[in-house]
A and B are shown apart, each in its own frame.
Chain A
Amino acid sequence: MSGGASVALEAVTKRYGTETVVAGVSLAIPAGEFFTLLGPSGSGKTTTLSMLAGFVIPDEGRVVMGGQDMTQVPPRGRGLGMVFQNYAIFPHLNVAENVAFPLTVKGAPKAEIQARVAEALAMVKLTGFEARYARQLSGGQQQRVALARAIVAHPRIVLMDEPLGALDKNLRFHMQVEIKEIQQRLGMTAIYVTHDQEEALTMSDRIAIMDGGRIAQMGPPREVYEKPDSRFVAAFLGEANLLDVTRDGALVRGPGGGAIEAGAGQGTTLFVRPEKVTVSAAAPSGGPNQLPGQVLHASFLGNVVRYAVDVGQGATVLADAVNGPGAVLHAPGAPVTLHWRAEDSRLLAA
């Protein structure tokens, strides 16, 4: 196995006309990492990936791979494996020929091509489909062909642009596992684009969340999920409670005037995930991070009950209670007290 290579973008900018699509993006991805670009549609993910691939030349900044400046090198000189947003399977070639393509254009010997194609197809569990054409394959199978083709030449870096975008939920989950497994087995550096936050959290070593051509935050999944630096990141990654708080000197006060203590941050928006909030029928005990309120409604999700609690001043807090042994259900209208630990919450800029 060839292993991976490091990848870096240094203050890369791309403009189309007057619109800046990617604005001064810098990233450093160590060899072998599974790195994900996550962000809403139009945030510049594909453009960033295209600059890594060489389809798009940045207006400013550098693209570095394995320590070498690749900014001006055309795609064919970069030796990348690629899975495209729509698979891009050649309709005039069968599965084996499609997978063999990166080797054929390199002029690899026939025997080697055969062996590698067989290996790649085995890895994506498509052995026996060699002679089929794209139009004779299901979406999931086409996706595997694209994956096999991306890895067949054992590239040190593989780029994947929403490879699972067109698949249904079950298949997606299944493929996520397979992709991750193959990436780890081959030790490749993977740069993965998605706008599905759950997918990003499951698969990645690190995630960069993009917003309007910039990286809003970058870090391991747990860090970006639990310690967002901005309202945008907090809200984009799953459900988040974002409560307006007021500052009274050194003291921070919540909607009902109760004292708030947060793990970190300086702003006037309090962030806390619903699953970090406990709901109890007892009256507030007087400690910090206790909010009295009234249950607006309770959604029964099976393993979890999601409460929407009115905490006064028009603010609503979501709280997820695990439907564990002896769990009590609070009916709508019931008075409750919400509570969370200081280290599970942050103060964000408004």
Chain B
Amino acid sequence: MPLSRLTAWLLLAPTLLLLVLVFLVPIGWFIGGSLAELGTLSEIWEEADAVLFSGAVGGAILNTNWIAALVTLLVLLIGYPMSYALSRAKGLVFTAILLCIVLPYFTSTIVRTYAWMVLLGRNGLINQILLGIGLINEPLQLMYNRTGVIIGMTYVLLPYMVLTLYAAMKAVDQRLLQAAEGMGASPATVFLKVFMPLTLHGVIAGVLITFILALGFFVTPALMGGPGDIMIAMLIEREVELTYNWPTAALMTIVLLTVTLILYAFYARISDQGEARR
């Protein structure tokens, strides 16, 4: 039963109000107040020019995009088969897989990070095993560098991809796959010509949501990364916390927010199309 417009708005009202109060108002206050400090529009523009095209910001933006892209790719490659298994699983197996994916979210970031240290550290479990079986002679550096950031972010973002893909895969009409098989398609062809295209909107949505989330990542790269693994959100934090240079932080925030909103607009369109298909 489709909700009337009014009912929908009424149901959304508390959430919207909360968002406006605890999110929009403070952000507006922060950005507005900080930029006002700079003075006129042309002065703001001058500062923006200086900030955004200075070496650090450019580097961080490059870093951010590169890391986000790499993580998104990895998450997709790992998440796709995982979601497929999940969409096929029933009963206990389904619950088990789902639990494995979601459970880590019930532990705090600190606990998770210490778990990573135990696992990935120089004297961590993985290095000990690899050294033990003689596969390596020197411990691998799996943490406090780009590898660590990628591992950590991939892990944290995986559920978003898996759950998005799961929804798309679950919605695929199994009879279409059977029909394709009946028309002479091999399992590989069924997958490539029917299953993949039918889940493509899910892939695009999953990629966008993962990428959007990855762009704003702060905690994981800060904890798992090395000296050079600075992402844009970390730079913003530095400007706020270390330099007390809030106008600069505000400008970077606007850039990040704009990019995010543009990507989100794509995401919204694609999920709508996915809905319409069904």
Contact = CB atoms under 8 A, between A and B. Distances in A.
Tell whether any CB of A sits under 8 Å from a CB of B in the complex: yes
A153 B178 CA distance: 18
A90 B200 CA distance: 14
Interface in B162-181: 173, 175-176, 178-181
A88 B184 contact: no
Contact of B181 (A76, A91, A106, A149): A76
B168 to A, nearest CB: 12
Contacts of B181: 55, 74-76
B111 interface: no
Nearest to A150: B183
A92 B173 CA distance: 12
B198 interface: yes
Given A86-B175, A91-B277, A53 B182 contact: yes
B184 A79 contact: yes
A84 B175 contact: yes
B185 to A, nearest CB: 4
B175 A105 contact: no
B182 A105 contact: no
Given A55-B178, A84-B175, A102 B194 contact: no
Nearest to B276: A135
B173 A105 contact: no
A106 B184 contact: yes
Given A90-B194, A91-B198, A80 B182 contact: yes
Nearest to B178: A55
B189 interface: yes
Interface string A15-56: 000000000000000000000000000000000000001110
Contacts, number: 61
Nearest to A88: B179
B197 interface: yes
A84 B193 contact: no
B277 A102 contact: no
B186 interface: yes
Contacts of A53: 182
Interface string A66-96: 0000000011100110101110101110000
Contact of A55 (B182, B183, B198, B277): B182
Contacts of B183: 76, 82, 101-102, 105, 149
B122 to A, nearest CB: 49
Interface size class of B (residues with CB under 8 A): 10 to 19
Contacts of A104: 193
Contact of A105 (B176, B189, B198): B189
B179 to A, nearest CB: 4
Interface in B193-208: 193-194, 197-198, 200
Contacts of A102: 183-184
Contacts of A101: 180, 183, 185, 193
Which of B173, B184, B200 has the most chain A CB atoms inside 10 A of its CB? B184
A84 to B, nearest CB: 5
Nearest to A105: B185
A90 B182 contact: no
A149 B179 CA distance: 11
Contacts of B175: 84-86, 88
A119 to B, nearest CB: 17
Contacts of B200: 92
B186 A88 contact: no
Which of B175, B181, B197 has the most chain A CB atoms inside 10 A of its CB? B181
Nearest to B194: A90
Contacts of A90: 176, 180, 194, 198
Contact of A82 (B182, B189, B194, B198): B182
A74 to B, nearest CB: 8
16 contacts: A53-B182, A55-B181, A75-B182, A76-B181, A76-B183, A76-B186, A84-B179, A88-B176, A91-B176, A92-B194, A92-B197, A101-B185, A105-B186, A105-B193, A106-B184, A149-B183
